[in-house]
Structures are given as C-alpha cells and as structure tokens.
Amino acid sequence: MSVAVVVEAPGAFRLVPHEPTPPGAAEALVRVHAVGICGSDREVYQGNRPEGYVRYPLTPGHEWSGTVEAVGPGAPESLVGRKVVGEGFRNCQVCDRCHAGETTLCTAGYEETGFTRSGAMAATLTLPARLLHVLPDGADLTAAALLEPAACVAAAALKADARPGERVAVVGAGTLGMLAVQFLAANSPAELLTVDIRPERAALAKQFGTTDFRTPDQELPGGFDVVIETAGSADSARTAASLLRRGGRLVLTGLPASGAAGLDPTGLVVRQLDVRTVFGAPPAAWAHAVRVFGAGLLDPLPLVTHELPLDQFPYGIELVGSGGPEVGKVLLLPQGLS
C-alpha cells in the first residue's frame, strides 16, 4: 500500500494511505523517486518555521526527483515518462515580480510545495506542469533529488557573479556549501577557500575543488572578491563579511535562528560591500542548475549519506538535526529501498 507522511501539527506526524491525485488542467502527476530532508523540514516538524511559511496539516517534501506518469488537459503529453525535478514556489505568474522572473518575490503571497501545499513525502506528487524541469534520460534520480538546494545555490552563484581568476570563498560545508564549492570551482577561480567548523569536511571540499580549507578558529585570510555564506549559524554572516576585500560581493543563503549576530552596517558602508540574499530559487536559477547537472559539472551524489524508507521519517529528522560528521544529505525513498 502506498503511504504519505502527514505532519498534523508541530511534533505530531502519521503515515496515511496515499492515493494519487489525478492531474487537472495543465498539471502533471509525478511518481516520486527520492525526497530530501533539510533543515526547513525539521523546522516544519518542530514547529519553528516562521509564521506564514507553513500550513498544517501538511505532507512535507520540497527537494525531490521523479518520473512523470500522467498529465492533465493542456499539459504536454511529451512529459509522460520523462525524468523531472520541479520548482517549489507556486507563483501567480501575473504580478510585476513574476513578470520580471523573480517568482520567489511573488506579490500574491507565499505558497510553496512542501510547506503550504502538499509535498513529495508520498508515492506521488501532483503539481503544475509549468514548474517541471526535464532531465536527461540517463540522469541519476537519486543525485537529482539534490537539485532543489542546487538551484538555491545557483541563484547565489548568479547573484555573486564570480568571474574567472577571482578569489572566492564559501562559509559552511553542509549540502549547500558543498554545492556552492562545485559551482564556484567550475568558474576557474584563482583561489577557493572553504570555512567550516568541521575539519572532517575538508577532504570532500577539496574533492569538489576547494584549494584551502580552514576552521573559524584558525587564522582566516582576507581580500576575497566573492563569498557565499551557507552555514546559517549565529556568526557565519560576520565571518563571511570579514573575508571580503573592500567592494567585495557577499551572498547570504543561510537562515540562522532569531537573535543571530548581525552585520555591522558601518562596516558594510565604509567597506562598500555588495550584500545580497537568496530565499528559494527563481526559474533562471533552476534552469542553470539543471544545465550544469546535465553537463556533468555538478555531482551531488557524494553528499548523500543516508537513504531511508518513508516510514523512517522521524529518524531522518533526527539525523538531520544531529550535526554528526557522518551525516550529509538524508533521502527518503517513497518507492522503497532498491
């Protein structure tokens, strides 16, 4: 019997029988291959997701990959049988922000798969076909389940506008950080520094292209042109800013808990730092991530450390929150383990 995870309220979940929702007009029905668990899923389960950014009861799951099984009227029949990933933001398509391609800033309000709409922690997912990105036929769907965080990192990389020969750095060596290293390494930097509190992450960071790995308690060099911050810890934004040269470019992607140490506005002004932020990924970033993945320049698979059946959702949440050195990306497999 097919099942789905439903978080009824903070701290309360159950497995329920799952029946596919037939695709309506312009929709697609996707059989989910794998769905990732990230920190925001843990927020949903624990009840500390910001107000307005979750709606209970809810089937979580915004990082996923799968295969199109059916389409509704008005959706391309050519999608059936194709491997896909999909955008999460359910934008209105008609406001000025949507017309500008900034769908994560849709003025109609926040709606996202896995947070306010049913997500992929189920055997199937039905969503607007316009949100799908088709993968190469030979794509590894387990690796492709990480293309949602990769799209967020692609958004950061596009905003950072790192150029060949520049000195670049990443603060944080979790899933987002390791994906950021790969995006920046593909752009031929003169130097690529990764900073993380876990020295055991150094080997993988260097496998992905890091030229120097340091922990925050070590002496950190400065003068970098670009820094992407992914850690979301209390002081990671300050650490990231300290690495930059005057006029450098900082992109923040991490979401620290309330009350984290902020950036010094005086320092930002006198150093003329260009500070940008990323929350989710617009279509251009998704397309960029899928292209880089299809070209073989992005390899998320080494980041996957755990593949679990759907009924081990609470254990997966526990793993993600453990912070253990052996825990990378945790995936749930709705169709069962192979």
pLDDT (tens digit per residue) in 4-30? 999 999 999 999 999 999 999 999 999
For the record, the structure tokens of 334 come out as 């709705």
Q: What is the mean pLDDT of residues 81-92?
A: 96
Count Cα neighbours of 96 within 13 Å in the Cβ-side half-sphere. Answer: 0
Confidence bin at 63 (pLDDT 50/70/90): very high
Helix axes 313-322, 39-46, angle to 10 degrees: 120
164 vs 264, higher pLDDT: 164
**pLDDT, tens digit, for every residue of 245-287?**
999 999 999 878 777 777 889 999 999 999 999 999 999 999 9
For position 338, what pLDDT does the model report? Answer: 57
Q: Where are the alpha helices (DSSP H) in 193-312?
A: 202-207, 236-242, 265-270, 283-294
Q: Where are the alpha helices (DSSP H) in the chain?
A: 39-46, 96-99, 141-144, 147-160, 175-185, 202-207, 236-242, 265-270, 283-294, 313-322
